[in-house]
Amino acid sequence: MKRKLDMKLIPALIGGGLVCTLGLLTLFSPKSDYSITRGESLPSLPQVTLSGILSQSTQNSLESYVEEHFVFRDLLAPISNRMAAYLDLGQVDQVYLLEDRQVERLTSSAAGAKPSIDAISDFLSRQDNSVIGLIPSAWTVYEDQLPSDPELLDEGQLMVDAYEALDKTRTIDLYSVLTSAQNNDIYYTTDNRLTSYGSYLCYQSLIRSLGQSSLGLESFDIRHAANGIYGNLYRRTMIKTGPGDTLDEYHSKTGGRVQSVNLQYDDSTTQSDSLYFSEYLNTGDPMSYYLGSGWGVADIRTDSSSERSLLLITDDFTNPIVPFLTLHYRQVTVVHLSDATQEQLASLHPEKYTSTLLLFPIEQLTQSSEFSTQLRLIGTGP
């Protein structure tokens, strides 16, 4: 006598079959070691060993592998993130979603900034040719469009505290420059960095503080290098707010061409004749179109008739500003403080340059131990 299939088992059988199918697809579908959509490296399939099983490391690695390579992850992430944003007042992974842009939430503590401020003060006192500019984040510039949040870093107050502890004649007020221009496209809508126009506004103040006259907008031909670009904030939310961003190049009509770019990595050096690297446009890090990424020191030579030279101590947040500064110097050496090796930092000697510019996001001051240690290393070598 045939037994009837219990109808209550059908959902369980369907669910179990679906889970097995997705698991098999995840394990045996073609794999890549890098996700362009998320802009990150993906784990390799772990080797199964007895010791790994006993220590649970094999199970943990396999769980991470399946999670990162899940066959429909990039399709389902926007849906789950939109649900998370709805439940968490428009926030996903410390990123607020506005109607036409995404803005990073900064929760660093200003209390930890004193060692960084002390290191900057010490540097300025030793280098008579140096000035400093601090750049506010998009959160600070657009805070009137965002929910009130007492846990956020008060960048305006931190900048005031920092500048009060320094020689005011050596500080550059970029906070007022950017907050007064918030109705313009000064930050990307899907990335936490400045646009080329925002970079141009900063350049005007920076070059004047360095004793030179800035070029007006009419002095540039503006070329759109890429449209529909999605940056690092999109990679965290996987939600599209608007048509994406446009990357621009500002080319001077009056000359000042780059002749060579020497990029110094940890254990290698590469040469280029351009400040723009188109190979990054179709990767998970398209904003590295400006000057590339991963290097510690970039030495740039131009055809400028001036003999002036500039040492720019900064990080990759300010890469789009560099092309403007190169218009005024024969040599510009850019140092990414967080990427440079100890040997690279020690071998730099600010006194050999006409001017030295310290240029950082305000929030970076809160990364006290690393920031202050690296800054104090500059010029300590032979």
pLDDT number for residue 283:
84
**Strands annotated E in 174-289:** 220-229, 245-252, 258-264, 269-272
Sign of CA dihedral 187, 189, 195, 201: negative
Give the model confidence (pLDDT) of 292-304 as tens digits: 999 999 999 999 9
Bin 134: left if φ > 0, else alpha if -120 < ψ < 50, else beta: beta
Give the model confidence (pLDDT) of 99-150 as tens digits: 889 999 888 888 889 999 999 999 999 999 999 999 999 999 998 888 887 7
Residue among 207, 137, 127 nearest 167 (CA): 127
Distance CA 116, CA 85 (A): 34
Residue 357, burial from CB neighbour count under 10 angstroms (0-12, 13-18, 19+): buried
Q: What is the value of pTM for the model shown?
A: 0.82
Which residues are 264's β-sheet partners?
269, 297
Q: Which amino acid is at 179?
A: T
Q: Are 132 and 170 in contact (CB under 8 A)?
A: yes
pLDDT number for residue 41:
55
Task: Tell the residue number behind the tokens 């657009």, with chain if given.
Answer: 142
Q: Which range is least confidently modeled, 1-15, 28-42, 308-322?
A: 28-42
Distance CA 82, CA 88 (A): 10
Other Cβ atoms within 10 Å of 128 Cβ, number: 10
Give the model confidence (pLDDT) of 167-190 as tens digits: 989 999 999 999 999 999 999 999
Buried/exposed code over 311-327 (b: 16+ C-beta within 10 A; e: otherwise): bbbbbbbbbbbbbbbbb
Is residue 337 pLDDT above 80, yes or no?
Answer: yes
Residue among 167, 108, 115, 104 nearest 137 (CA): 104
